């Protein structure tokens, strides 16, 4: 399939009602994400086509491109420039998960983006920081991260604040020695305290999130013992 074929298929899959719902949440895509993934499977990895899709600027085409790019081809500066032109949280998150995390420049970009005042660039940096807290914490100064979260999260723009809050929760969940402080920071800042959670889902308010995940871990240990 060439660019014209793919854009025609995306147009056929588009749903204006879905686009309107997503717009209210700050996003812009109108194609069901499951359908996007199915289309990506048909295209397979095609870096040239993905580049063409990205350059259209179309939200659906760019989401699809993140699934078709060859991440290791990019330089750090290319990825940096692309992140800085992203205008929607969903696209940013897909770009981080599907492209940046599979590239050769994760740590360099994490450091470059984490302290950005930009809502979405900062979100990218804290998303990568959270991933490192979970998977590769060695070498991270976790108390310093808590210092920064305590000082900056309350006034951070919403998309960045969400990722900082996730990082706060993961530090508390995975580090018993820092758990009380992480929960105290969450209690004092009250970020996402009143955020609605669907039935059966853990609220994103960090103290509740930490307590629930630790409870589950302890219950699992008890069952395993």
Per the structure block, which two tokens stand in for 207? 């103290």
User: Residue 132 has what pLDDT?
Assistant: 97
Segments in the chain below pLDDT 50:
none
Q: State how far the Cα of 53 lies from the Cα of 68, in Å rounded to an integer.
A: 10
User: Residue 225 has what pLDDT?
Assistant: 62
Q: What is the pTM of this model?
A: 0.91
Q: State how far the Cα of 96 lies from the Cα of 132, in Å rounded to an integer.
A: 13
Burial letters 13-29, b for 16+ CB under 10 A, else e: bbeeebbeebeeeebbb
Angle between helices 176-189 and 142-152 (to 10 degrees): 0
DSSP letter at 203? P
User: Residue 197 has what pLDDT?
Assistant: 84
User: Residue 191 has what pLDDT?
Assistant: 98
User: Residue 87 has what pLDDT?
Assistant: 92
Q: State how far the Cα of 17 lies from the Cα of 68, in Å rounded to an integer.
A: 26
Among residues 86, 82, 90, the alpha carbon closest in space to that of 162 is found at 90
Residues 6+ apart with CB under 8 A from 202: 208, 209, 212, 213
Q: Which long-range contacts (CB under 8 A, 24 or more apart) does 70-77 make?
A: 70/45, 71/98, 71/99, 71/100, 71/102, 71/103, 72/102, 72/103, 72/104, 73/47, 74/99, 74/103, 74/105, 75/105, 76/103, 76/105, 76/108, 76/109, 76/112
Q: State how far the Cα of 193 lies from the Cα of 207, in Å rounded to an integer.
A: 9
């Amino acid at each position: 399939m060439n660019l014209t074929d793919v854009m025609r298929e995306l147009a056929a899959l588009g749903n204006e009602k879905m686009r309107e719902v997503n717009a209210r949440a700050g996003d812009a895509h109108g194609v069901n994400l499951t359908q996007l993934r199915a289309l990506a499977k048909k295209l397979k990895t095609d870096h040239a086509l993905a580049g063409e899709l990205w350059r259209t600027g179309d939200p659906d085409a760019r989401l699809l491109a993140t699934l078709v790019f060859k991440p290791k081809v990019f330089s750090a500066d290319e990825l940096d420039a692309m992140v800085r032109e992203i205008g929607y949280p969903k696209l940013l998150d897909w770009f981080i998960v599907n492209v940046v995390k599979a590239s050769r420049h994760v740590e360099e970009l994490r450091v470059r983006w984490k302290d950005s005042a930009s809502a979405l660039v900062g979100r990218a940096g804290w998303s990568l920081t959270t991933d490192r807290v979970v998977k590769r914490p060695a070498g991270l100064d976790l108390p310093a991260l808590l210092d920064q979260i305590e000082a900056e999260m309350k006034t951070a723009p919403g998309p960045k604040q969400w990722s900082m809050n996730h990082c706060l929760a993961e530090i508390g969940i995975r580090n018993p020695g820092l758990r009380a402080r992480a929960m105290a920071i969450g209690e004092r800042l009250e970020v996402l305290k009143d955020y609605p959670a669907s039935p059966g889902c853990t609220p994103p308010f960090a103290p509740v999130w930490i307590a629930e995940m630790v409870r589950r871990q302890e219950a699992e240990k008890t069952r395993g013992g």
